[in-house]
Amino acid sequence: MREGEFKINAKGLSLRGPRMMVESELSKEKCRWLRVIVSDLGAVDDLREYFTSMGAADIEVDRVGEDYHVVVELGVEANDKT
C-alpha cells in the first residue's frame, strides 16, 4: 500500500456495488490513492470505466489470490468531481 492510500473492501458485492461504495466514500473522503478490492472482472471493468470518466491519472489492476485490487491515483481534478 502507498502512503495515504484509502482502501475499500468491496469483495462479494454485485456488479454495481463496488462503484456505489466508491462514490459514497469519495463524497465523504478526499484521497490521492484509492485501492478497491473486488471479486470479479465485471466489477473491475465497471470501476475502470468510472475512474476513467473521472479523469483519474493512473489505474492499475492486480490479481491477489482470488481477488482483484483496483488501485487508482486520483488527481485534484478527479477528486473534486465527486
CATH number of the domain residue 70 falls in: 3.30.110.40
- Structure pTM? 0.85
> In total, how many domains does the chain have?
1
C-alpha cell at 46: 465497471
47 lies in which domain range?
A: 5-80
Mean pLDDT by 10 residues, the chain (82 residues): 83 92 90 93 95 90 96 68 44
pLDDT of res. 7: 94
pLDDT of res. 4: 73
Look-up of cell digits 500500500:
1
User: How many alpha carbons lie under 13 Å from residue 28 in its C-beta half-sphere?
Assistant: 6
How far apart (Å, rounded) are the C-alpha atoms in residues 37 and 27?
19
